[in-house]
Amino acid sequence: MLKYAESVTMWGLVVILIMSSFLLLIKAYKVIPVGIAYAVFVGLGTIGTYAVSVAFLGETISIWQVIFLVLLLIGIIGLKLTTKEESK
């Protein structure tokens, strides 16, 4: 999205999305271990960025990319399911 942000409105949207993302990450740090929270954050960011680039920006998609994204998603779900929340 940064590559295509040419107006003040688009840059404002980018800043809001980045800030929201980090605020949610900080909130997650309070309940689950930092390593798991960051892994989920990066993994979902990767999948989301790829999905947006294919759906809206016309980037190509291959079966191998889909297979590896599915494996990444399975890993993220597995990390989340096997991690106990910390109580404070």
Q: In angstroms, rounded to a whole number, what is the distance separating the alpha carbons of residues 74 and 79? A: 9
pLDDT at 60 (0 to 100): 92
Q: How far apart, in Å, are the Cα atoms of 10 and each of 4, 13, 14, 86? A: 8, 5, 6, 37
- How much of the chain exceeds pLDDT 90, in percent? 32
Could you read off the pLDDT of 13-38 as tens digits, one per residue? 888 988 999 999 999 888 888 888 88
- Is the pLDDT at 4 greater than 80? The verdict is no
For residues 80 and 66, which has the higher predicted lDDT (pLDDT)? 66
Q: In angstroms, rounded to a whole number, what is the distance separating the alpha carbons of residues 72 and 66? A: 10
